[in-house]
Amino acid sequence: MIALGVVVLGSLGALTRYFMDDAVSRRTKSRLPYGTQLVNVTGSFLLGFVTGLVLYHSGSADTRTLVGTGFCGALTTWSTLSWETVRLVEDGETSTAVVAMLGGVAVCLLAAALGLAVASL
Amino acid sequence: MTGGDVFDEPIDPDLEPEAERHRPDVLIAIAFGGAIGALARYEVGLQWPARSGAFPTTTFLVNSSGALLIGLLMVLIVERWSSPRLARPFLCIGLLGAWTTMSTFVTEADLLVRNGSTLTALAYVVATIVTGLAATGIGIVCARRLARVAT
C-alpha cells in the first residue's frame, strides 16, 4: 500500500516540478534557472518539516515516507541541477554556475533546517 | 539521423518547447517516469536504509547515478535520437528528476549536523557536489563517444 502511495505521490511530485519550473521560467529571463531552484527549496523545506514532525511530535513514519520519499523526492531533483551547472560552465558562465550549484545547495540546506526547526515548535 | 547540439538547447532540461507545452501525452510521460523514479528510489531505500550518523551512501549513489544518466541521456536524446517527442519528458523530467532528490540529500546532511556528525555531513555535501558534476561531465563525454562509434 505504501509503495502504491509512493507511485501516486511520485508522479504528482514530478508533474508539480514541471508546472512550477515552467511557470517560473516563463517569468524570469535570467541565465540562472530559477525554476529548478524554487522546486528544490520548496521540497527541501517540506521534507525538513515532515521529518521534524516524526522526530519531535511522534508523527507517522508512513506519512513521512509518502510525503517525503514520494512527493518531495520527486518534486526536487539533483540530476537537473547538475546538468544545468555543467551547461553554464560549458557556456563560459562560471560565476552563474557556482551560484546555481553552491547557492542552490546552501539555500536548500537552510530550507530543510528551517522546516525541521518549525516542526520542533 | 543526428539532431542538433545539446548545448544549443535551453539550460533548464525540464522545460518543454512551446508546441509540446502541457500536451496530455507529455504530462502522462512525466507522471509515468516520475512514478517509476520515485518507486525505484523508495525500493532502494528499503533495501539499503540510511544508518543514523553514517554517510548516506544510498542517496549519494542514487543522485550520482542520476547525474551520470542525465549527461548520457540528454546528449543521446538531442544529438543522436533526434529528440523523439516523449523521450525527454519521460526519461529526463519524469524518471531522472524523481529518481534523484535534493530534499533527501539536504535533510540527511542537516540531520547529520544535528546529531553531531558535522564532518560526515561536510564530506557528504562535498562528495555529492563533486561527484555529481563529474558524473554529468563523464556522461556527456561517453555519450558523444558512443554516438561517434555508432555512426
Query: HEC states along chain B?
Result: CCCCCHHHCCCCCCCCCHHHCCCHHHHHHHHHHHHHHHHHHHHHHHHCCCCCCCCCHHHHHHHHHHHHHHHHHHHHHHHHCCCCCCHHHHHHHHHHHHHCCHHHHHHHHHHHHHCCCHHHHHHHHHHHHHHHHHHHHHHHHHHHHHHHHHC
Whether the per-residue pLDDT at B1 is higher than 70: the answer is no
Average pLDDT estimate for B58-74:
97
Percent of chain B clearing pLDDT 90 (strictly above): 71
- Collapsing DSSP to helix, strand or coil, A91 comes out as coil
Least confident segment among A35-49, B56-70, B79-93: B79-93
Q: What is the pLDDT of residue B9?
A: 85
**Alpha carbon distance B22, B2 (integer Å):** 26
Q: Tell me how crowded residue B53 is: count the other CB atoms within 10 A of its CB.
A: 11
pLDDT digit string, tens, across residues A37-73? 999 999 999 999 999 999 999 888 899 999 999 999 9
ipTM over 0.85 threshold: yes
Whether the per-residue pLDDT at A6 is higher than 70: the answer is yes
The residue among B17 and A105 whose pLDDT is bigger is A105
Q: Dihedrals φ, ψ of A34, to 5°?
A: -70, -25
Highest averaged pLDDT of the listed ranges B5-19, B41-55, B81-95: B41-55
Q: What is the pLDDT of residue A58?
A: 86
Whether the per-residue pLDDT at B63 is higher than 90: the answer is yes
Whether the per-residue pLDDT at B64 is higher than 90: the answer is yes
Chain B residues within 8 A of A119 when measuring between CB atoms:
none
The number of CA neighbours under 13 Å toward the Cβ of B81 is 13
Interface of A with B in 21-40 (CB under 8 A): 21-22, 25, 31, 33, 35-36, 40
The residue among B147 and B46 whose pLDDT is bigger is B46
Q: Dihedrals φ, ψ of A29, to 5°?
A: -110, 5
Q: What is the pLDDT of residue B50?
A: 87
Q: What is the pLDDT of residue B69?
A: 98
Measured between CA atoms, the residue of chain A closest to residue B13 is A80
Q: Which residue has the cell 541521456?
A: B73
Instruction: Dig out the grid coordinates for A5 from the structure.
Output: 502511495
Percent of chain A clearing pLDDT 70 (strictly above): 100
Q: How confident is the model at residue B4 (pLDDT cuts 50, 70, 90)?
A: confident
Whether the per-residue pLDDT at B2 is higher than 60: the answer is no
Average pLDDT, chain A: 95
Q: What is the pLDDT of residue B107?
A: 97
CA distance A4 to chain B (A): 8
For an interface test with B, give the residue of A6, A40, A83 to mutate (most B CBs within 10 A). A83
The residue among B71 and B20 whose pLDDT is bigger is B71
Q: What is the pLDDT of residue B3?
A: 59
Q: Which of A4, A74, A43, A19 is nearest to B100 (CA)?
A: A74
Q: What is the pLDDT of residue B151?
A: 60
Q: What is the pLDDT of residue A50?
A: 96
Whether residues A73 and B103 touch (CB distance < 8 A) is answered with yes
